Each structure stands twice: as structure tokens, then as C-alpha cells.
Structure 1
Amino acid sequence: MSVWALGLNHTTAPLDLRGRFAFALDQIAPTLQSLRSSFPTGRHPQVEAAIISTCNRTEIYCASEHIALDHTVGWLAESGGVAPALLRSHAYTLHDDEAARHVFRVASGLDSMVLGEAQILGQMKDAVRAAENVGALGTTLNQLFQRSFAVAKEVRTSTEIGAHSISMAAAAVRLAGQLFEDLRKTRVLFVGAGEMIDLAVTHFAAKEPKSIAIANRTLERGEKLATRFGGEAMRLADLPARLAEFDIVVSCTASTLPIIGLGAVERALKARKHRPMFMVDLAVPRDIEPEVKALEDVYLYTVDDLAQVVQQGQANRQAAVAQAEVIIDAGVQSFMHWLGQRGSVPLIQQLNAQADEWRAAEMARARKLLAKGESVDAVLEAMSRGLTQKMMHGAMAELHSGDAAAREQTAQTISRLFLRKER
């Protein structure tokens, strides 16, 4: 049995391309049915499959007797309306131990945009449940995912992978938490709708603030981001009039000039009766005029400020990652050992069937002897001798056939199987 994976994520593919392969949870079932039915039944009967689709990644996991990566790439490219060559240039293909290592790292948060984040684990469990419901998840993939969940749990309980800030956005949340006692009571405004803001919204949304708003030059793009997190979208032109509503402002646009000026912030503070404002400027060049930092009730942090916070956790972060990788290595070895043993299952089933057949034959013979009045001791002796002869017949026949080299090899095998000492 082989396992393979095809995927693209935030590090390999641009947002627009990822969007072509995004599947909502209610689309997973029909998509899996389409994928499985696309495999030639002769060479790939009953392919197991699962699809993980989030805002940052789309990954297909399959299991079958033979790896079919080219077919999987072709199917996904067609579903997204792109050429297979384009998809390949932005995708990664993995099989067996590489696929296992990848899914373990994904579950553990090591492959996420936000290192150590726990959201992906819930998304993976939803994907597995969807595959189970449609009958696409067989024994092999079920083992792969259940083991990935177990590895993720061990990583989170045995390391501090999620305890340290690993990005500008995480650092911003940490600093905001130092200013506001309870972030659930804050109103947060995000200016822009690019990847950095997307990451920042993800971090702040995890703290469940009172409200989230997205101000963007293009309202439609802002609405898409706001909808994902249950927030509202507003036009950038409305920002000065509404700035006073927000306790936290995070900005990152591509503007070449500041879009939040000193005067606008002064008016907002006055309307807020000088309640503090926490502001983060992630843009280069600046989105917020530097003079704002001098205002008494404003706590303004720039990219350089946040970089210092990020670097403080560097040593602890690397130690946690190293510990997590050790746990993942052990998980991969265990899964591959299990997968290797799966190849012996048909032989084991045949051996058990043969043993049952011998047992049934000897039991029938014993009953006949008892019915004829034979003593119990004699019947048991005959039954045990019959079973022993049946078990030894094949081995004895092999010992007396073939050339000398073959007989020597057979002798070593039989000795290993039948003459093992009990430990």
C-alpha cells in the first residue's frame, strides 16, 4: 500500500491561484467522489482520498496499491481550470514517509503561516470527518490521520511550540494584551486586506475581540476578509470619521504616503476622552505618521519595534521546533512500520484460514472417534498428532527438496520459525 499527497500553500502559490483550488466544507463530499471516480478502476481500485482545504492551503491525500501522482495533478489542474505544468510549478508532491512527515507537521502547526497555531488541527479533523462520511477514508488514510492527531497532541503537550511569538502579528497581539487587560472587550480596526493583515486578523480573532472591522480601498476585498471572521467592512475614506470607535488599529497597505495622520488621531483621542489607543504600523513605507508616537495616549509600534519582540523568543522557539521534529520523526517511523506490515495482511489471513481448516478437520475426526467409543486420552493423542503432522508437513517437504543451498536456507528459516526459545 502506498500513500501520496499533492498540495499547494501560502509558501508555494499566490493567493489568486490558491483560490482556484479552494473547496468549502460542503463541497468536499462531491469533490472526493469526483476524484475517486476519475482513477482507472483496473490499476487503482477503491482509492482512499481526503482533501484539506483552508485559506492557506489545499492538499489531497490518497492511498492505493500504486502511486498515481501524475493522475492526481491532472485531475486537480482540470478542476481549477489551469494547465498541469502551472499547477506543478506551485505545488508539492510527496509520497510514503515524506507524505506522512508532511501531514504530521501540518497537524502540529509546523507548516502553518502562524507557527504552532491550533486552528489547522480542527480544520483537518473536519476534512477527515467529511471523507469518512462519504466513504472515501479507508484503513490506511484513517491510520495516517489518527496518528497525525496523536503526534500533534504530543507536540503541543510536550513542547512550547505555541507559546512564543513567531510573527509580527503574534507580537502585536502580545503587546496589545499588555495594554488591555481583556482583549475580548476591545474593538479592532484593520487597515488593508493583504496577506499581512490577513495574518494579523487571524491572530487577533483568536482572542475574540468585541468587534472587528476591515477598512480597505477596495470594499469588495475588505468584505471577503471581514466575512471570514464575522466582522464588518468599511471604505478607507470613512476611516477618519470612525477612528475614535476603535481601541486597536493595525495597518498595512501599499500606500506610498501615510494614510493615518496626526490630526486624525488627535481628533479621535479627543472623542475617546483620551482613552488609550494601541496602534501597529506594519507598512513600509509607513501608514501612520511618525509624529503620532509622541501623543500621550497612543501606543504606536512599527515593524522595527515588533521585530525586537519577535527576536526575543527566537531561542525558545527553535528549541521547541527541534523537540517537535523529534516527535514527528518517531511518528513517521511508527507509521511506516505499520504500513510495511500491511503488506503481510493477506498472508496472515491465509495462514489463519488454513489453521482453522486443519483445526476443523481434526475436531470432526475426534468427534467420530468419541462416537465410536474411543477413550478420551486416545482421541486427544490422535488429534494432537494430526494437528502436528499437518503443521509440519510443508516444512518437512521443503527440507527434502531442492539443492544443497536451497535446503540450507530452508533449514535456517525453519529453525528460526519453529525452534525459537520462549523469552
Structure 2
Amino acid sequence: MTAGPLSRFTVLDLTRVRAGPTAVRYLADWGANCIKVEMPPGAGDMDMGGPRHGPDFQNLHRNKKSITLNLKEPDGLAVFKKLVEKADVVVENYRADVKFRLGIDYESLKKVNPRIVLGSISGFGQDGPYAERAGFDQIAQGMGGLMWVTGMEGQGPVRAGIAVADVGAGLHCAIGILIALLERETSGQGQWVSSSLLQAMISMCDFQAARWTIAKDVPGQAGNNHPTSIPTGVFKTKDGYINIAASGGHIYKRFCESINAPELMTDEKFSSDKARRANRDLLNAEIEKRVGAYGSAELVEKLNKAGVPAGPIYKMDEMFADPQVKHLKMAHPVNSPKLGPIELIGQAINMSRTPFEMRTATPEQGEHTEAVLKEAGYDAAAIASFKQRGVI
């Protein structure tokens, strides 16, 4: 194993649930010394990330160390600030006001270490009328516009099948932290980086959101049809369903030729982009009549050879069995002392010299407390006293 491109950075991880741990995972996977700070046993659940040895928790907290520390105790806070002295980044996703009550807000941390970067994730932002509301992925999906454009037309709002707001906020926060660390190289100063589930969700709505801000168009549900590229959607084959993206004049022509349907090019109802948009449902029905004669794998292969984007629609087990997914190594092996050999989800970033590494499985609660405190200068007597008093 190599040191990793971020190995010179120490990150104190105060995060819980998903959005915050996702941000820290990016840093940990590229070698940052990430120290997950958890409440001592019996002092209160500060993580709420599901069972420790379940798939979710294990996937979120790999490549980290774990210490227990009660920040509500004065000595616990003092220990944390001592760790901040030599740290580079602190990441938290409490409600916006909690960090101030605990005394770990940016201004407080800056007094301890002017170079510290604080990454914060909240539900709705660090200030404003909703700042103190608790954030939850599905709430952000609804308020951020995603649920109104997801699902079949007239079905009513539908949530996405993944925690897109949580993961998006974590990704945005990680990017912000890396920008702050780069900027620190010239200024010598840290700064406060924040994102929120709501902001991430709106940002990720991207062209759908821009349809309103620029054209004052309110997008609705389009089901499995792409809202603007036609024909693009899900089509039933002889033995299942596939996605086909055949919009644009040249690709549409190749598509019609591939399925031996020249009439779909010459028919006035389908002969132009404008006509295909006006008659989308009719066109989809005509396409489905023809693709129903093919098996899914056969048609996907045939269309791709013709330069028409198409692909299968997988369940999770089918996805991980796909040869391209295997080639991309999206399931990474790691050995867990508790669970044995397991596979965790890889990163979606490829780097030619400094790839991410799956170095260690998720640690046990407080596994590294003594080692980290000794590195910070605490002797055995002090550590024993902390244990006795419930500080660690």
C-alpha cells in the first residue's frame, strides 16, 4: 500500500448518518488520516448510521480510525481542541446550531488553529429561515425539485431510489474542502466550507432547474422518457426491458436502419425532431412493436454496433456481474476482522498515478482511541483517568 496523495492531511470526522460520512470517505480513500470521533459507549448515540456491521455503515467508514470522545464533557472538548491543533480538516453535519453549543464552530476552531478547514453539511443551509430544521434526504428531494420530475406522468411525486441529496451534499462538501486546502497553500489560512442537502439537490437538478430559471418552463414527470431528448426511454423487448437513446437526426436514422424500420424516418409524424416531440407517445408505441421481436442482449449489441446508445436495465446482482463493471473494479475487496473478506463500493474517479486504495475495513468503536491520544501527548495515567470519568 502507498501513502496516498492526501496522506499529509489529518481529518477529524464528527459526521453521522450519510452525507457527512460520504464527504470524509473521499478524503479517506485517497489516504488522508481520518479520525472518526464517536461518543463513548453509553454516552448517547451520536452516529445514527445503522448497525455498525451492516453494509451501509461498513461502506461509509472504511479507511478511517475510530476514537471515542464525549464533546459534552469539558475534558472531552479540551482533548478535541488539542487534536485540532495539528489537524487540517474538521467535518461535521450536525444541525446548524449544534456546533456553536458545543464550542466547535469555525471561529472557535480558528482560534486554536488558524489553518483549520471546517466542512459543514446541513439540511437547508447554515443560516436562513430553515437553518435549524433537521435535514433528511427525502425531504430535500421534495423541496429540491427532484420528486416532481420523477415518476410516471400524473402518478404524483416519486422519490429517487437512492439517497441522492445526501450523497450529493457529501460530494459537494468534499470538493469544497479540497478547494479550501488548495487555497490555503497560498493564503496560509483555513476557512469554513459548507453545503446542504437542499443546495446539492437543486444543483444536481441541473438542466431541469435551468429550464425554469431561463425559460420559465416548469418541468413535470416524464416517466422513463427523457424530458427533452426523443426518442429516449425504456422499451420492452422479447425477454425484458432495455434503455434506448436515439435522439438527434443522425442517431435516429441509424436506429431506424438497425431495427429495419425505414418507415419511421419517412412518416411525417416522425420525420423531424419537432414531429417526434409532438408525437412521442405514438412513436414509442411504434418502436416497441418492432423491438419486441428482439431479445434484450441481442438488441443492445446490435444497436451499440450501429452507434446507437442502448443498455440493459440491471438489478444489483446483474450489475455487478457485468464485464464492464468488473473491469472498472467497482466492488473492492477488503478484510474485516469482524466480518471476514467483504467487498465495498469503489470510487468513480480514476487517477493514473494515485488511485484510491481500500486499505482497511471500518474500525470498531474506539479502536484507535489510546493510540491517537498517545500521539497527541497524553500519557497512560491521563488516558486511564479519561476512561474512568467517561470522557473517552
TM-score when scaled to structure 1? 0.26
Could you say which structure has the higher helix fraction?
1
Bigger relative contact order, structure 1 or 2 (CA pairs below 8 A, ≥6 apart): 2
Give the alignment's TM-score, normalised by structure 2.
Answer: 0.27
> Larger Cα Rg: Structure 1 or Structure 2?
1
